[in-house]
Structure 1
Amino acid sequence: MVALSRNVANKHAMEMLLTGDMTSADRAAEIGLVNRSVAAENVTSEVMALARKIASKSVMTLATGKSAFYAQREMSLEAAYAYASQVMVDNMLARDAEEGIDAFIQKRDPIWQDA
């Protein structure tokens, strides 16, 4: 109940909790319980594609984003916006932000410095 109610809309969580019905993978994706549903034979290739995509990003930027995501969830809305704004400013001043913008403009893969 605790994890479910923090990951899907209240009406979906309540229906699942009160009925006890099984939920299909497609329905779980539809209501946001999982990110996506894939055929069993494609699980490994889909997971590896997602892992490669994440691994291609700046480690510093990923760590900053992950930390900020969890921190802001515990704040009031006003405090969360102020905090997120400061994190975005700090992130844009990082070397990897400059590299990411340059790489995009030059239509090339970025070379991350993790700084």
Structure 2
Amino acid sequence: MSNTYTDLVNQTFHFPQEGFHVKDNYLQFNELDLKRLIDKYGTPFKLTYLPKIGMQVAKAKKMFHDAIKKHKYDGNYYYCYCTKKLSLQFLLLKKHSSTVFI
């Protein structure tokens, strides 16, 4: 068993993550040139990609819908989204109306 940080990351995460790719030796995220943004805004750099949040909510809801149907679950199901970023609340409420609780 290896104990380096790189090994831990490789054991924990699956790469490449969806939306990320390398172009001309620079990391891109959903066609955004991260190097250009970092050059402009500096580091540490934090990116919140709002469309991705909505896509992940829809993906999770579909997975639960499929599992509920497969196992013939007849109870109630409520999708709850935990976030420390109150600024994202509008996106979830607008996109998913009464089907998402924050």
- Give the TM-score, by structure 2 length: 0.29
Larger RCO (CA within 8 A; separation ≥ 6): 1
- Give the TM-score, by structure 1 length: 0.27
